[in-house]
């Protein structure tokens, strides 16, 4: 009887084993975020592998977002797990054009509505104060009159996203922040124009305030409703442009 090759349980390749060992050093705190990896020669000696194996292992961890190359400086611990997912979703959006953005936005809506409900249940007074601070900053920016440059619109968009990211962190579940960052980052660049109108910005700030009101009141139902309305308005404004 022949055994299909893909049914044979092959042992993992050496570079995969080395990648897992290096990743474990990051996870157990031996290498913290921002730490530069030792020189290749030292790592090869420490791990007992060739430079070829080491380079293949590091390549695996770059793809996972665990490590990052900084030109002219070296390889550093990054631990940015959102980046590989963001790149995958960005590819999905670019290959599906507008439909891809809308489909991802539907997923983001489901995620953010639940985030808002949990934030209303779990947000601390300091969390709420931080949300208020971000929304107040958006209000001050919106009072700047006259045409906005692309850079100013981009900074406003980033600040607007900070509000939603902080809301995700209020849930005390870090995975919400990871998923929201990847989902939003995958299509936000294509919608940089969204906040180039003061009226659009004003409406967004008011909707944030409705979400804040529900979170302050610890009313999950109202928080979900306010978030759903906010995102519907966001999508409508985006599709008009």
Q: What pLDDT band is residue 2 in, cutting at 50, 70 and 90?
A: very low
**Cα(143)–Cα(175) distance, rounded to whole angstroms?**
35
Instruction: Flag the least confident range among 2-6, 41-45, 134-138.
Output: 2-6
**Cα(213)–Cα(211) distance, rounded to whole angstroms?**
5
| 61-78 residue pLDDT tens | 887 778 888 888 999 988
| 22-38 residue pLDDT tens | 988 887 778 888 889 99
- Domains assigned to the chain: 5-77 (1.10.10.10), 83-240 (1.20.120.530)
Contact (CB, 8 A) for 163 and 118: no
Contact (CB, 8 A) for 74 and 37: yes
Q: What pLDDT band is residue 3 in, cutting at 50, 70 and 90?
A: very low
**Cα(150)–Cα(157) distance, rounded to whole angstroms?**
10
Distances from the Cα of 27 to the Cα of 44, 60, 147, 184, angstroms: 20, 16, 47, 26
């Amino acid at each position: 009887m022949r055994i299909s090759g893909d049914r044979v349980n092959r042992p993992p390749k050496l570079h995969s084993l080395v990648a897992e060992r290096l990743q474990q050093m990051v996870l157990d705190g031996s290498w913290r975020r921002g730490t530069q990896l030792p020189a290749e020669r030292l790592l090869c000696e420490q791990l007992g592998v060739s430079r070829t194996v080491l380079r293949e292992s590091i390549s695996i961890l770059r793809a996972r977002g665990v490590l990052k190359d900084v030109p002219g400086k070296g390889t550093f611990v990054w631990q940015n797990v959102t980046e590989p997912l963001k790149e995958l979703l960005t590819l999905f959006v670019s290959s599906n054009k507008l439909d891809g953005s809308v489909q991802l936005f539907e997923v983001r809506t489901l995620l953010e509505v639940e985030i808002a409900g949990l934030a209303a249940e779990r947000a601390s007074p300091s969390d709420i104060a931080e949300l208020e601070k971000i929304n107040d900053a958006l209000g001050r920016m919106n009072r700047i009159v006259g045409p906005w440059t692309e850079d100013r619109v981009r900074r406003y968009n980033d600040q607007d996203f900070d509000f939603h990211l902080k809301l995700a962190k209020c849930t005390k579940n870090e995975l919400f922040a990871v998923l929201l960052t990847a989902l939003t980052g995958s299509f936000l660049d294509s919608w940089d124009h969204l906040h180039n109108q003061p009226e659009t910005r004003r409406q967004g700030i008011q909707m944030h305030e409705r979400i804040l009101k529900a979170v302050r009141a610890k009313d999950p139902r109202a928080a979900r409703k306010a978030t759903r309305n906010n995102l519907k308005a966001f999508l409508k404004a985006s599709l008009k442009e």
